[in-house]
Amino acid sequence: SPTLATKVLPFLALNEVFIGESVTSRVSLLRLQIDNGAWSHTKSSGLCVTTGTGSTSWHFSINCLRTQSVQELMKILHEEYKVPLDTAMEKAREVTEKYNQKLMFAADSDQLAYSVREYITFEEWPTPRGLKVRDKASSVKVKSHCTDAGLVIDGSVSFPFNDGTEAILEIHPEDSLMTVQMDEKRP
């Protein structure tokens, strides 16, 4: 068996890592393993893995709900399933806000959040069934089955990520962002 080369990239992500085909109209074929669980075959428009710092940006934009959609769901529950709900626009705004706020998490969290963008599901995909399209994780392993893909760090640094390439995305305590808080009181 051939020896695989392992390379630790000399970059850390502050906000997010995106993995997917370079041409946005192409389907990204990725295998994912979340927290050492079962490997899942996925078809999508890519994978976004974010830190707490990035959870207010692209991750939020990918996953946030719109009030109109929430209100329509509330009306379906109320009218077709007879769930007693206030379906007024104001209540839908309140529910939407609560849901969307839960997408964001602390900048110093030791967790990542992943989002499978525009997840394609049909008869045989994903394999196995049950992968959440978004969730938090400590470790996200990715194997590429793409033809012209990239691993993009914070929207600026890109590396080829084609068929056979693997990545492990994790947060390590020694790589934590260090900040200084200045005391405004002056002696």
- For residues 113 and 158, membership in a common domain is answered with yes
CB 112, CB 50: distance < 8 Å: yes
Rg of the chain over CA atoms, in angstroms?
20
pTM: 0.88
**Cβ-contact 152, 158 below 8 angstroms:** yes
Host domain of residue 59: 16-63+107-175
Instruction: Tell whether 33 and 125 lie within a shared domain.
Output: yes
Tens digit of each residue's pLDDT, the chain (187 residues): 566 678 888 889 999 999 999 998 999 999 999 999 999 999 999 999 999 999 999 999 999 999 999 999 999 999 999 999 999 999 999 999 999 999 999 999 999 999 999 998 776 655 567 789 999 999 999 999 999 999 999 999 999 999 999 999 999 988 877 777 777 876 6
Residue type, 46: G
Residue recorded with tokens 């890519």: 46
- Kindly state whether residues 76 and 153 are assigned to the same domain: no
The total of structural domains in the chain comes to: 2
Quick one: 41 and 79 in the same domain? no
Residue 16, beta-bridge partner list: 50
Cα–chain center distance at 149: 17
Q: Is 92 part of a structural domain of the chain?
A: yes
